[in-house]
Amino acid sequence: MNNPSEKDLNPVESISIDLDAEFRESNIREILDKLDRELIGLKPVKTRINEIAALLLVDRVRKQIGLSAGAPSLHMCFTGNPGTGKTTVALRMAEILHRLGYVREGHLVSVTRDDLVGQYIGHTAPKTKEVIKRAMGGVLFIDEAYYLYKPENERDYGAESIEILLQTMENNRDDLVVILAGYQDRMDKFFQSNPGMRSRIAHHVDFPDYGPNELVAIAKLMLAAQNYRFSPDGEKAFEEYIRLRMTLEYFANARSVRNALDRARLRQANRLFTQGKKTLTSIDLMTIEAEDIRASRVFLEGKLDHTAGAIS
Tell me what the mean pLDDT of segment 65-78 comes to: 84
pLDDT of residue 61: 86
Res 306: pLDDT: 42
Is the pLDDT at 8 greater than 60? The verdict is no
pLDDT of residue 292 exceeding 80? yes
pLDDT surpassing 60 at residue 168: yes
Strand order from edge to edge, sheet including 177-182: 108-111, 139-143, 177-182, 76-80, 203-207
Q: Do 50 and 96 contact (CB within 8 A), yes or no?
A: no
- Tell me what pLDDT residue 302 has: 58
* Whole-number Å distance between alpha carbons of 243 and 210: 12
| Mean pLDDT, residues 55-61 taken together | 88
Count CB atoms within 10 A of the CB of residue 173: 18
Tens of pLDDT, residue by residue over 226-283, are: 999 999 999 999 999 999 999 998 899 999 999 999 999 999 999 999 987 779 999 9
Class of residue 260 by CB neighbours under 10 A (exposed 0-12, middle 13-18, buried 19+): buried
In the predicted structure, residue 133 carries a pLDDT above the cut 90: yes
Residue 2, C-beta contacts closer than 8 angstroms, at least 6 positions apart? none
Task: Give the mean pLDDT of 136-162.
Answer: 91
Cβ-contact 172, 135 below 8 angstroms = no
Q: What is the DSSP letter of 230?
A: E
Alpha carbon of 266 to those of 240, 260, 273, 288: distances in Å? 19, 10, 11, 10
- Categorize the per-residue pLDDT at 9 as very low, low, confident or very high, splitting at 50, 70 and 90: very low
Measure CA of the first residue to CA of the last residue in the chain; give whole Å.
Answer: 80
Q: Which of 19-23, 33-37, 179-183, 254-258 bottoms out in mean pLDDT, i.e. has the lowest?
A: 19-23
Question: Given pLDDT bands bounded at 50, 70 and 90, which one contains residue 135?
Answer: very high
Side chain identity, residue 172: N
Q: What is the DSSP secondary-structure string of 74-126?
A: --EEEEE-TTSSHHHHHHHHHHHHHHTTSSSS--EEEE-HHHH--SSTTTHHH
**What per-residue confidence (pLDDT) applies to 283?**
95
CATH class of the domain comprising 212-300: mainly alpha
Q: With bands split at pLDDT 50, 70 and 90, how would you rate the model's confidence at 7?
A: very low
- Tell me which of 71 and 245 has the higher pLDDT: 245
Q: How far apart are CA 230 and CA 220, in angstroms?
A: 7
Average pLDDT, the chain: 89
- Which sign, positive or negative, has the C-alpha torsion 100, 101, 103, 104? positive
Q: Which of 186, 221, 250 is nearest to 88 (CA)?
A: 221
Task: Give the pLDDT score at 67.
Answer: 82
pLDDT of residue 12: 54
Write down the CATH number for the domain with range 16-207: 3.40.50.300
CA distance 125 to 160: 7
Q: What is the DSSP letter of 41?
A: S
The reported pLDDT for the residue numbered 166 is 96
pLDDT band at residue 25 using 50, 70 and 90 as cut-offs: confident
In the predicted model, is pLDDT for residue 303 greater than 80? Answer: no
pLDDT of residue 305: 46
Contact 230, 288 (CB under 8 A): yes
Cβ atoms of 137 and 176 within 8 Å: the answer is yes
Please, which residues bridge with residue 76 across strands? 179, 203
Angle at the Cα of 45 from the Cα atoms of 311 and 75, rounded to 5 degrees: 105
- Give ranges for CATH 3.40.50.300 in the chain: 16-207
CB 214 within 8 A of CB 174: no
Whether the CB-CB separation of 289 and 228 falls below 8 Å is answered with: no
- What is the predicted pLDDT for the residue at 139? 97
